[in-house]
Amino acid sequence: ERVSVVVVGAGPAGLTVGNILRRAGVDCVVLETETREFIQGRQRAGVIEEWAVRALQERGLAGNLLSRAERHTACEFRFEGRRQRFSYGELTGRHHFIYPQPMLVTDLLREYTDVRGGTVRFDVRDVRVHDVDTDRPSVSYLCPRSGRREVVHCDFIAGCDGARGVTRKALAAGRTARHDYGIGWLSLLAEAPPSSDCVLFGIHQDGFAGQMPRSPEVTRYYLQCPPGDDPENWPHDRVWAELRRRLAADGAPEPVEGRLIEKRVLDMHDYVVEPMASGRLFLAGDAAHLVAPIAAKGMNLALHDAFLLGDALVARLQREDGDDSALAGYSEACLRRVWDYQEFSQWLSEVYHGPAAGEPFRTGTALARLRRLFASPVAAAAFAEQYLGTAERY
Ligand code: RFL
């Protein structure tokens, strides 16, 4: 079998690349280790930045999102027993879209397969990439039905297989910059409405707590915990008592209790693979860089990569002169935004976690950072720009 592009992974990055290729009539195949049902149900992100929605729209991929997503224009910090609302919408005229990742993946998958005639092979096993530094790369996998190894020859490979994928390992070693926060987050999904219409950040000496609305029925919560903690240490009553305590503030309604349908511990870390390409293999999304969910940036970066990679591959494969300047500049163009978002996440992490470090000095500086947002219009504007990802040039 031979196609122009093999896309490894059917997450937001891979499906966006696939859609861009199919719209331009480029032949491609997407390989995915999970089943269709699994990827359409996998709950993760929910916050999509305005520029990303605009870019999806330009590529014909935002129909459902625009009609169904909620718009958020503020977040609220709770600290020292007070609540302070940060109205970035008023400040900038911009907003966030709240659209759960499974809904976006479902939209992208339908469009790719049913409308644009794309192929996804689900449930494949033991995916391997070959000869990426030659002009005849290929990808092989075990077919779950026949048990045989199938080989797909191609011109380019898009490595969109996420943090646990295989394509990153095919790049030469020693290219990964890593940062460990040394903390854990208990990541929760509750079958309950949010207690407030916006994102809440609880800054507390016993650890950070966050509320991220997802829909009127489901709300995501986070609780800082030791790294490697066992979710079994967090029974229902302990979770809700801790959320109530860490999110408490004068005049604030308590979190609305509900059944916990997800409970996982995330060891908070970041990494960046630099450069994001080698020969004919181009990484996109979490395969190339992980950003801890501190500032809700991961899916936005995955989409940014996918727009650039999809467009660059189309320019190379479709135009008569085979323009490869965009492919050559791909990694650098992505990494400018990646490093900017990583830096913002680190900055915000200190605000969230500094006061729980048990060091009075870090508590003092973290709270100073926070107060500055409400005292200085310039600091507020800078924060809003980074939180919304609206800077024009990276
Ligand atoms: P994905 O979504 O992980 O998709 C990769 C796909 O590749 C498949 N795969 C393979 N396929 C073929 N061969 C292999 N060897 C393969 N190995 C894996 C996987 O099954 C999967 O289908 O990566 P992608 O496309 O790069 O998208 C990245 C985003 O999913 C991720 O950055 C976000 O979910 C991060 N994130 C958030 N991002 C935001 O922008 N806003 C948020 O509010 C937000 N909240 C979150 C998050 C991530 C979280 N977790 C679980 C880490 C909240 C959480 C709790």
For the chain, give every domain's residue range.
Answer: 5-72+95-177+270-344, 181-268+357-388
Residues with CB under 6 A from ligand 1: 8-14, 31-34, 39, 44-47, 101, 127, 160-162, 164-166, 187, 266, 285-286, 293, 296-300, 302
| Contact predicate 293/264, CB 8 Å | no
Per residue in 37-65, pLDDT (tens digit) is 999 999 888 999 999 999 999 999 999 99
Mutate to test the pocket of ligand 1, among 161, 266, 386 (most ligand atoms within 8 A of CB): 161
Tell whether the model's pLDDT for residue 390 goes beyond 90: no
* The listed CATH number (3.50.50.60, 2.40.50.100, 3.65.10.10, 3.40.50.150) that belongs to domain 5-72+95-177+270-344: 3.50.50.60
- 374 CA → ligand 1 middle, Å: 34
Q: What's the pLDDT at 392?
A: 73
Closest atom of ligand 1 to CA, residue 302: 26
- What is the pTM (predicted TM-score) of this model? 0.96
> What is the radius of gyration, based on Cα positions, of the chain?
22
**Among the ranges given (44-48, 120-124, 149-153, 302-306), the one the predictor scored with the smallest mean pLDDT:** 44-48
**Both tokens of residue 385?**
């720009």
To test the pocket of ligand 1, the residue of 44, 143, 222 to mutate (highest count of ligand atoms within 8 Å of its CB) is 44
Low-confidence winner among 43-52, 103-112, 120-129, 167-176 (lowest mean pLDDT): 167-176
Distance 148 CA to ligand 1 centre (A): 28
Can you spell out the DSSP letters for 142-165?
A: E-TTT--EEEEE-SEEEE---TT-
In this chain, the answer to whether the domains covering 5-72+95-177+270-344 and 181-268+357-388 adopt an identical fold is: no
Residue 323 has pLDDT above 90, yes or no: no
Tokens of 276: 């994001």
Residue range 181-268+357-388, CATH number? 3.30.9.10
Ligand 1 nearest-atom number relative to CA 286: 26
Strand intervals (E) in 47-193: 47-49, 70-72, 75-79, 82-86, 96-98, 119-121, 125-130, 138-142, 149-153, 156-159, 176-191
User: What pLDDT, on a 0 to 100 scale, did the predictor assign at position 394?
Assistant: 65
Say whether the ipTM exceeds 0.90.
yes
